[in-house]
Copies of this chain bind each other. A is one copy, B any other.
Amino acid sequence: MPPPLSVSHPSPQPLSLLPRHARGPHPHSIALAQPLSSRAPPASACSVVPARHSDYFDPRAPPSQRDAYGQPPLERDPPVPGGQAGRVFASYSIYKGKAALAFDPRPPQFVPLESGAYKVAKEGFVLLQFAPAVGPRQYDWTRKQVFSLSVWEMGTLLTLGLTDSCEFFHDPFKGRSDEGKVRKVLKVEPTPDGNGRFFNLSVQNRLLNVDENIYIPITKGEYAVIVSTFNYIIPHIMGWSTFTNSIKPEESQPYNRPQSSPELEWRR
């Protein structure tokens, strides 16, 4: 028997930016997916009737229904007026009947060098944010679970065949005193009809006494958007685009290495 759909806090809560653990430990389990065997395969290879699909939340639907729960809140630093001038926040959000999933790119970090140049110190990543639905087209982002996808994991998803599965394990406290107390597993596996994927995040958090499991089905077209955005964002969150932005024809200089050095094979 699949676990029944149970949401311990089904009543809408006000949006909050409080850290999750501030609400105190509360054991509950969310199992949002139907059992796989009970899903009927679709009739055609392209079952794309979003406007009528009960499992699909159209983000372009009347905004009155989305104000409270429609979009993931910005979870960065508290709003300091003028403090983030020029920054732009963008994400890719997929809304389904029982959960929403937002992909949120994060920039790399740079360190200045003595020479006046910069070096990439840490690669960026894409933060996956899963939120359970608490009503029609309403998602409780205060109860979200997150998973930060590294460049290497994004590469793995880029090459995932339609029938392949994939699992990533994260321990946010690895190498710290709380190592092993939080365990996150992201599974990406084919839907039974072979036309889409399930993204499944399970989080066992012994610090907060939480054991959650969130499923969301991703269609072939949505996965293609993920692939397109990952291919786009990978060179940027690796800092390669800041390297290419620094290519200036008017500042071009020949490589003046000693000829006897084997460092550079081609004398350029």
Known: A147-B265, A262-B182. A51 touches B240 (CB 8 A): no
B224 and A228 contacting across the interface, CB-CB below 8 Å: no
Q: Which of A165, A182, A241 has the most CB of B within 10 A?
A: A241
A192 to chain B, nearest CB (A): 18
Which residues of chain A in 72-103 are interfacial with respect to chain B, using CB atoms and an 8 Å cutoff?
A: 74-75, 77, 79-92
A23 at the interface (CB under 8 A from B): no
Q: Chain B residues near A80 (CB, 8 Å)?
A: 115
Known: A165-B45, A244-B233, A265-B148. A225 touches B155 (CB 8 A): yes
Known: A116-B82, A117-B84. A247 touches B108 (CB 8 A): yes
Q: Chain B residues near A197 (CB, 8 Å)?
A: none
B229 and A234 contacting across the interface, CB-CB below 8 Å: yes
Known: A84-B117, A85-B117. A172 touches B265 (CB 8 A): yes
Q: Chain B residues near A115 (CB, 8 Å)?
A: 77, 79-84, 87
Q: Chain B residues near A110 (CB, 8 Å)?
A: 88, 249-250, 252
Query: Which segment, of A2-10, A24-32, A33-41, A214-222, faces chain B?
Result: A214-222
A155 and B228 contacting across the interface, CB-CB below 8 Å: yes
The number of times this chain is found in the oligomer is 4
Nearest chain B residue, comparing its CB with the CB of A245: B88
What size tier do the contact residues of chain A reach? 35 or more
Q: Which of A61, A115, A254, A262 has the most CB of B within 10 A?
A: A262
Give A residues with C-beta under 8 Å from B: 19-21, 44-46, 48-52, 58-62, 74-75, 77, 79-92, 105-123, 125, 127, 146-148, 150-161, 164-172, 174-176, 178, 182, 184, 205, 207-208, 219-225, 228-236, 238-250, 252-255, 258-268
Q: Other CB < 8 Å A-B pairs besides A88-B110, A107-B243, 17 of them?
A: A45-B164, A45-B165, A50-B169, A82-B115, A85-B116, A87-B117, A88-B118, A89-B119, A105-B244, A109-B252, A109-B255, A148-B264, A152-B225, A154-B221, A158-B221, A228-B234, A229-B238
